[in-house]
Amino acid sequence: MKKGLSIIVMLTIVVLLSSVAVFFVEDITTPIIEARQQAEIEEALKEVYPAIEGSGFTVTESTLDFSGSPITGAQEIFDGSIMQAIVYTVTFRGYASSITYVVGVDSTGVITGYKTISQGDTAGFGAQIADEENWTQFTDMLLESAGAGGFDGLAGASITTGAWKSSFAEVSAWHNANDVFPVLSDEDIEKIMVKSIVGDGYTITALDPTGIKTLEEFTIDSAYVANNGTEDEVVVYFDTFFGFAGDNKIVVAIDIETGTVLELQVTASGDSDNYGALILESDRWTQFTDKTTDQLFEGDFDGISGASITTNAWADSLQRISIFHQAEFDGNIVYTQAELMAIYQGQLSVLDAEIVDVTEQKVSNLYISNVYDAKNDLGDILGTVYYVSSLGEYRDGPTVTQFLVGIDAAGDFTGLRILATTDELLLESSLVVTDPSVFDGTGYFGEELEGLAIDGAFTLADVEGFEGTIALLQSALEEVARYHDEDYPLRDDFVADQADLELAYTGATIFNSLYQNYDFVNGILNVYEAKDGSDTLLGYVYVGKFAGREGDVTYAIGVDTAGVTQQIYIIEDSETWSNAFPYDGSQGDDFATSPWLDNFEGINIAAYILDPVDGVADVSTTTGGLNSRFGLIESVLRIFNFHDENSTGGIL
């Protein structure tokens, strides 16, 4: 018993002595560590504020109250009595350690540099914060942008990244709340951002539009031009759009001469974490470099998987910027779908009608690009508008003129309107109305057509200097009249190969088209009964079509009589999603054979209508759709809705 007690006493003495030793060692080493860190902070000043080298600036320890923030200290940098910058020391808790960094901010709110001073996080994960390649992104970034989370995190280290971004948010909030420097106007901040994009050597001024519409009419926040001393070289647009859950702010710089994007940044997002807010990831911005304004108009980019509302709002913002830019700097009037719809309605004087694109339903024609029907609430066709492309006069090369011509339900012309032309002389004449705000029926060329029957005699009046163009337009009009009289009533449903249909419905050998019994639905090319060799009905095969990233995609999908899908088979596509940036290849390298297509097989269509499948990240144009690019998910939904609506009381 005494021996046991003596062991306990000895252990107690050892513990006490160890504790005392630790106390004295810590008491000795803590000041050493703090002194070393302070020396590192002072040395880092030259790295995070390079302008201090050889400047004669003075450095003063800040006496500001940083309580309630992760800021543990700061150095104020003065040129005489004027404070030029402040360098904050910030400490936050990462996944496995406390992390300390310094960040310099100048009097305009721009970050001059960043450096991590100390960290002890997991190697290969949170410890990446000590890698210099993760620091350079901050230079010339607004502190406000960094505070909004607009910088790259650390791969595989979500906890440390989240804490890092939170620390910047708190630093930015403290900085703004305490008026460290004079408060800058929105225009001052935007000019700073423009300078950070275009560099030095430019004069930055607010854009004064000279085109047909103002920035306000396009709901673009602001725009600035960068002049190189001789000419305006770059225009930078600022825009705000509401996504699913909040505002998103973007900056787009466009080279005026080439009409291509130099840089796109997202400076803030109020959208949902892991969904719309993923717009802040800079990897998503690089895809826009060198894109043309036409590509911006068309929504030609990879959106955010699972965030279609935010993606569509983003696409709308870029389209507005594109339309304004082309009108202002290229003299090119580009029409939105809404504007075109208004033109079509005005062409037929049926402003309350629904305009339906029935091109895919009709027989193709070399002159006619699109066919639009105007329908009332009962589905009656009130008239048809043709979008026509015609050769113009040869002027140092061939020219093309695109125009609309309307034909009412009685078969009479309602007029002709030129939308676009490559004939510069024609474009400069009073014959072409280029202002898309003119929807009131004025400015139409060929008013003498109005009320004339398409199967009667009609002749466009000659216009001096444009006799050749008039003759070519006359020929195109005569072909439209013939088409409307002879080909328009016909239906040109897609005829699928037997082998393609069999791949969409295993076990079926007989396929009979039923589509002629139904109203045409854009995107559905045909509907087939699927029967076995004994003529027993097994189900149906739908042939669908949608606009993919690289072109039209045609496919077939089988549905049995119980409403359960069979196989889906891609008949034709040219998708290159294996090259999509930054697609990870998790769903295969070939869209036509992707395992993602399995999501559409063996499913109940009623369940799909309520809860469609998810798209594939970074190939959303092909899978999920943008604007008028419906994507496979939405295309299949159209087919399922058609099946659901027609399977009760219909032939299906």
Spatial neighbors of 424 by CB under 8 A, at least 6 apart, are: 395
Q: What is the value of pTM for the model shown?
A: 0.52
- Average pLDDT for 339-350: 78
Query: 153-157, 393-397, 511-515: lowest mean pLDDT where?
Result: 393-397
**pLDDT score of 12:** 57
Q: Is residue 31 part of a domain?
A: no
- Average pLDDT for 10-19: 55
Q: Is residue 26 part of a domain?
A: no
Indicate whether 422 and 383 sit together in one domain: yes
Tokens read off for 280: 């802040």
- Average pLDDT for 141-168: 93
273-332 per-position pLDDT tens digit:
889 999 999 889 999 999 999 899 888 899 998 888 899 899 989 989 998 898 888 877
Amino acid sitting at position 192? I
User: Could you tell me if 404 and 414 are in contact, meaning their C-beta atoms sit under 8 angstroms apart?
Assistant: no
360-378 per-position pLDDT tens digit:
888 888 889 889 998 887 7
Residue with more model confidence, 370 or 183: 370
- Average pLDDT for 588-602: 95
CA distance 47 to 37: 15
Q: Is residue 231 part of a domain?
A: yes
Q: Is residue 280 part of a domain?
A: yes
Indicate whether 81 and 134 sit together in one domain: yes
Residue 429, SS3 per DSSP: coil
Indicate whether 143 and 266 sit together in one domain: no
Residue with more model confidence, 216 or 164: 164
Q: Is residue 520 part of a domain?
A: yes
**pLDDT score of 631:** 85
User: Could you tell me if 559 and 600 are in contact, meaning their C-beta atoms sit under 8 angstroms apart?
Assistant: no
Residue with more model confidence, 639 or 461: 639
Residue with more model confidence, 377 or 472: 472
| Helix, strand, coil % over all residues of the chain, rounded to 5 | 35, 25, 40
Inform me whether the pLDDT recorded for 596 exceeds 90: yes
- Average pLDDT for 600-616: 91
Indicate whether 440 and 574 sit together in one domain: no
Indicate whether 509 and 479 sit together in one domain: no
Tokens read off for 132: 């210099």
24-82 per-position pLDDT tens digit:
444 544 455 455 656 677 778 889 998 888 778 899 999 999 999 999 999 999 888 77
Examine the fold and report which residue of 296, 325, 354 is the final residue of a domain before the chain moves on. Answer: 325
**pLDDT score of 67:** 93
Q: How sure is the predictor about 629, in pLDDT bands with cuts at 50, 70 and 90? A: very low
Q: How sure is the predictor about 211, in pLDDT bands with cuts at 50, 70 and 90? A: low
166-179 per-position pLDDT tens digit:
999 999 999 989 98
Indicate whether 550 and 508 sit together in one domain: yes
What is the number of domains present in the chain?
Answer: 4
Q: Is residue 267 part of a domain?
A: yes
Examine the fold and report which residue of 126, 160, 177 is the final residue of a domain before the chain moves on. Answer: 177
Residue with more model confidence, 558 or 618: 558
Residue 155, SS3 per DSSP: coil
**pLDDT score of 14:** 53
**Segments forming the whole domain that contains residue 80:** 43-177
Indicate whether 525 and 604 sit together in one domain: yes
Indicate whether 320 and 351 sit together in one domain: no
**pLDDT score of 81:** 79
Indicate whether 512 and 445 sit together in one domain: no
Examine the fold and report which residue of 430, 465, 486 is the final residue of a domain before the chain moves on. Answer: 486
CA distance 160 to 495: 57
Nearest residue to 468 via CA among 571, 393, 550: 393
**pLDDT score of 6:** 61
Indicate whether 223 and 130 sit together in one domain: no
Inform me whether the pLDDT recorded for 5 exceeds 60: no
Phi, psi of 249 (to 5 degrees): -115, 130
DSSP summary character for residue 329: I
Q: How sure is the predictor about 445, in pLDDT bands with cuts at 50, 70 and 90? A: low
Q: Is residue 8 part of a domain?
A: no
Q: How sure is the predictor about 83, in pLDDT bands with cuts at 50, 70 and 90? A: confident
Phi, psi of 134 (to 5 degrees): -90, 0
**pLDDT score of 264:** 96
**pLDDT score of 436:** 43
Indicate whether 152 and 171 sit together in one domain: yes
The whole-chain average pLDDT of the chain stands at: 85
500-534 per-position pLDDT tens digit:
999 999 999 999 999 988 878 878 999 999 999 99
Percent of the chain with pLDDT over 70: 88
Residue 585, SS3 per DSSP: coil
Indicate whether 347 and 478 sit together in one domain: yes
Q: Is residue 562 part of a domain?
A: yes
Q: How sure is the predictor about 444, in pLDDT bands with cuts at 50, 70 and 90? A: very low
Which string of b and e fits 141-165 if b means at least 16 CB within 10 Å? bbbbbbbbbbbebbeebebbbbbbb
**SS3 per-residue string spanning 383-448:** EEEEEEEEECCCCCCCCEEEEEEEEECCCEEEEEEEEEECCHHHHHCCCCCCCCCCCCCCCCCCHH
